[in-house]
Structure 1
């Protein structure tokens, strides 16, 4: 699978831009701040309905415009599809496939798959658990696009449940009794939370089991002799089947209820779990060096790439300003690992940052223009 054409309207810094793309390696080269990352960010948005740089759509719309449009032509084998996403901050986004009637944006998920590595990915090792949960959930959705709906359901139930708990906590603090009115339906919301949560947990744990050996292998290839890398999904809820996870979540919610009512927030569920990365016997967070942390983050992304590729639909690999952050050895080893991908998009400030192994199309990016060299 690869993108053959990218078209942007009022997206980030671009009022209008058309970029034809080839299979193989394509590098976008230009000074920082000229819009290189905006191009690959748009490709990533088609795959995840989100940005790796910001948490909302508003910054993606060019200043002075009220919406942005991302279009792409995607080819998989002999099949070609035109995707269009219209970003409307504060309102519902819109989507079309092959100029058909409007579809839900999440219906686009799975047509484009990407694995994107960027400087922000250092947070996968050094950052908060939320960074690692987001990594898992985006990969879960890439493997099974219907999980976007499950994640949406879980988030909706979680917000409702938190509202009930907050109301009860406020009533208790202000002498309004136990907040029983607000809590009357809490058992029902527990069941909804456990239902969506168990499905999400099942997919996450299955993913971590599949990803672990691939991450260890990728780390060994990036930093020979430096491992092993071990991935551990940390959750208070255990179980092998979805039914066991459902019952485990219900039991954990029951145990935590008194504390949740006191604090006014849901304390148990996938939104509180973590992915622990170990390098040898020690957790990578807090113990790994800067270079080791970079290699761990890269290993996670390369493992994701190998996993998706092994499942049949090779993703677009995006390396956003990565090589400038790596020493010469890691730079060359990474280039060797990705050089033969079906489509690899690279951004770099200077041509010298792109390893010679990654020969292919080159675009100069500057002054709002994208020019093929």
Structure 2
């Protein structure tokens, strides 16, 4: 049996492909007399493929309820397909009449969706107060304790004022079964998230009584930080504004080094230049993109720690890259951008998807399929009343 982490990496690659391709199919390949974009967010889905893979590929229990980030619906659908809860035809019917919605909809797709999240900020708050209601039933009527209430939101969604009004409620700070996962990709629909907000998030949650776990950098970068002189690289990356870091991710391989070692005064940081001297250009580009929200081992560790917390809610601030693994990664205009036909074909080849096998899941006899079959069943939400 292959290492579980390696299998999850392969599941993640499949989720990345399926989420990007179903949006491409809906907008560019499916026969239609209308060329208007029908919906789907490739970059926002890619941002959370690691987080969703860790949840649906390992961490979820049957009685857990999840409010999925609205713009990540295609990645959510891909995982439902891989876990046998959706047929291939459903993916191909994204945004068709009667088909899967661009955002998770409890009304339109009740067999899959536990909470509608399409209205920014409402799904997260609704889920949290569901936990409060469930705790009331436990305290006053002796009902069985519920599973966890897990909320996944983007960092820009936290601009909604009702979110902080809810978090300021004293009773919320006692909800130990609540877990929020914040997708800190530093980008909103039409702007880069302000630096102050990104740096304040942890303190704001802590002030509301939450346990805060931050996944800023991945294991490869952490290992580099731990080498002699590595603290210079850590300080350089930590001090970058959101705009500067996103630009760094878009640079060609050779330009990354120059941007890293250039000080604010225009002088070269000779010590940092020496530290990076043995690192090749391509390796350096990959290294600076090693964010904690795409490190499956760190994500699983953080989820396990959150599951052990029972006295207060937990938030995981997972730093990610919007458009992770796609050619539009970190592009400031990638929110509604769509891959071209050439780009989708290049992605297919890069991810090892055979021509004609665009909709394939994992063969039943594969180790990936066996891994997913061993997982506890997902909760099947009841259909809402008519």
Q: TM-score, normalised by structure 1?
A: 0.29
Q: TM-score, normalised by structure 2?
A: 0.29
Which structure has the highest strand share of the two? 1
Indicate the structure (1 or 2) with the bigger Cα radius of gyration.
1
